[in-house]
Amino acid sequence: MAGKKTTSLDRVLGRLDTLDTVNLTNLVQRLARERALFEEIFNTLQEGILVIRDDGAIEYANASAYALIGLGSDELTGETLWRLVPGLRTSLGATLDDTRAVAPVATREFELTYPEPRTVRMYMVPFTQPTRGAARRFVIILSDITKDKETTEARIENERTSSILLLAAGVAHELGNPLNSLTIHLQLIERKLKRLGAGKEVDAVADSVRVCRNEVSRLDGIITNFLEAIRPRPPDLADTDLNDVLDEVLRFQHREMEDRGIAVEAETSEALPHVMADRNQLKQVFFNLTKNAMEAMRPGGKLRIRSRADDDYVYLMVGDTGAGIKQEDLVRLFQPYYTTKAGGSGLGLMIAQRIMREHGGHIGIESKEGVGTIVTLQFPRKDRRVRMLQSGGR
C-alpha cells in the first residue's frame, strides 16, 4: 500500500527541535498564512462545514454552518450538535458506535425551524480514527435543500393532480355520451306524443318527458362546466382590473348573500395596480372563494374583502367570520377530492391554486377555529412581471 505523501512542511515539523528563533518565527507565520487561506476557502463555501467530537461537541464551524444553524460564532462555544438538532444522536447511533477503521459515511435529512424553516441534508464522515483515550472526530457537511425539496414536491403534486384531472375529464366525457343519447331519445318520444294528440295520459307522459329533458340538460351543463374548469388551458392574459372582476362576481352573488343574511365589507383601493390575467379564470377563482366563505357562515356573518399592493405584487384578501378550519384539515385543502363540506367536490381550491400558479401568483390560507378564515391571493404587478436582479459586482 502506498505510503502517506510527505510535504516540505512535514519535513520542517519533523526537525522542529533543531530550528532557531528566526526559523521558528517564519514557520509560525507560514502556518498562520496557511490557516487564514484555508479559513477563507471554507468560508466561501455555500455548504456548512462542522467538525464535531463523538459526544457532539462542535470544534469548528464555517460561516455557512453558522448561518444554517442560526447562531453566531461566539454562541457555538461549548455547544453540541445533539442539542441543536434533537433526535440526530439517536438517528446516528450505529455510525457513532462503529469502531471499524473505515466507518461508513452517514447521511440524513432534517428540518430546522430557526432562524427560518428549512430542510437540510447532512453528510457525516469520520475525521480521525478511534484511539484509546482520544475523542473521535467527524466532519459534518450541511446543504440547504429547501428549494430543491419544494420544487420536487411541487412537481410530484402537479403530476398527481394532472393524472387525477385527466382521469376525471375522461369520466366526465364518457358520461356525456349516454346523456346525449338520452336527449335524442327523449326528443323522439316527444315527437311521438305530439302525433298522438292531446289527452290526459298523453299530457302526463309529456310532462314527465319534459322533466327528464330538463334534468338531462342540467347534468350536461354540470359536466360542461366541470370540463371547462379542470382542463389545463393556458390563461389568456390581458390587462385586468381586479376590482372590476370582483365587483362582477359580487353582483352575481348579491341575491344569495341577502338570502343567507350575509353582509359584505369591501375595502379596495381605486388606485389598485392592474395585473396581467385571464378575466374568466379569475372570476372562477373569486366565485369559488366567496362561495366557500358564504357556506362557512351563518346568518349575520360578514364577508370581508381587502386589497393592497407593494412594489412587486398585488394582494387580495377574502375573509369570513365562519367556523374556521381545523389545523389537520388546513394542510390538505389543496389535495384533489379532499373536502370538509357535505356534498363538496374537493376540486374548487385545487383548481384555484392551479389558476393562480399559471398566473405567476400564489394562494395562501389562514384559519382559526371559531374565528374564521382568510384567503390571500398574490398577483405579480403588471409592471413588475420581469425584475432585474442586482449583480454581485459594480
What value, to the nearest 5°, has the Cα angle with vertex 67 and ends 66 and 68?
A: 95
Residue-range domain boundaries for the chain: 28-144, 150-230, 238-384
Q: Which pLDDT score, from 0 to 100, does residue 16 have?
A: 67
C-alpha span between 239 and 99 (Å, rounded): 68
| Residue 208 pLDDT exceeds 50 | yes
- Residue 222 burial (CB count, 10 A): 12
The residues, ordered by sequence, that sit 6+ positions from 110 with a Cβ below 8 Å of its Cβ are 85, 87, 88, 119, 120, 122
* Superfamily in which the 28-144 domain is placed by CATH: PAS domain (3.30.450.20)
Which residue matches cell numbers 471499524? 100
pLDDT tens, 28-52? 787 788 777 777 777 777 788 888 8
Summarised one tens digit per residue, pLDDT across range 260-288 is 899 999 888 888 888 999 998 899 899 88
CA distance 190 to 178: 18
d(CA 285, CA 353): 9
CA contacts within 13 A on the Cβ side of 3: 3
Per-residue pLDDT, averaged over 303-315, amounts to 89
- Statement: residue 321 has pLDDT above 60: yes
Q: How far is the C-alpha of 268 from the C-alpha of 266, rounded, in Å?
A: 6
Sign of CA dihedral 328, 330, 332, 338: positive
More confident residue, 12 or 184: 184
Secondary structure of residue 323 in the 3-state scheme: coil
Q: At the top level of CATH, which class does the domain 150-230 belong to?
A: mainly alpha
pLDDT band at 304 (very low <50, low <70, confident <90, very high): very high
Cα torsion for 205, 207, 208, 212, to the nearest 10°? Answer: 130
3 state DSSP class of 363: strand
What does the alpha-carbon distance between residue 254 and residue 264 come to, in Å, rounded to a whole number?
9
Show Cβ contacts of residue 193 under 8 Å, excluding neighbours closer than 6 positions: 202, 205, 206, 209
pTM of the predicted protein model: 0.46
**Least confident span in 49-58, 183-192, 351-360, 380-389:** 380-389
175's grid cell: 358520461
Region of 343 on the Ramachandran plot (φ > 0 left; ψ -120 to 50 alpha; else beta): left
What pLDDT was estimated at residue 209? Answer: 85
pLDDT of residue 178: 80
Whether residue 389 is predicted with pLDDT greater than 60 in this model: the reply is no
pLDDT at residue 343, rounded to an integer? 52
pLDDT at 379: 92
Of residues 16 and 363, the one with the higher pLDDT is: 363
Identity at 164, one-letter amino acid code: I
C-alpha cell at position 335: 389535495
Instruction: Give domain 238-384's CATH superfamily.
Output: Histidine kinase-like ATPase, C-terminal domain (3.30.565.10)
Chain Cα centroid distance, residue 294: 26
Say how far apart CA 261 and CA 296 lie, in whole Å.
Answer: 13
User: Tell me, what's the pLDDT at 317?
Assistant: 92
Dig out the grid coordinates for 157 from the structure. 403534486
For the four alpha carbons of 351, 280, 306 and 321, in that order, the dihedral sign comes to: negative
Query: Which has the closest alpha carbon to 106: 119, 94, 90?
Result: 94
Residues 6+ apart with CB under 8 A from 170: none
> Who wins on pLDDT, 346 or 266?
266
Computed from CA positions of residues 99, 103, 106, 112, in that sequence, does the dihedral angle turn out positive or negative? positive
- Residue 5: its pLDDT value, please? 56
At which residue does the C-alpha cell 519535513 appear? 11
Grid coordinates belonging to 131 = 484511539
In this model, does residue 103 exceed pLDDT 60?
A: no
Which sign does the torsion angle of CA 188, 190, 192, 195 carry? negative
| pLDDT reading at 156 higher than 80 | no
> To the nearest whole number, what is the mean pLDDT of the chain?
78
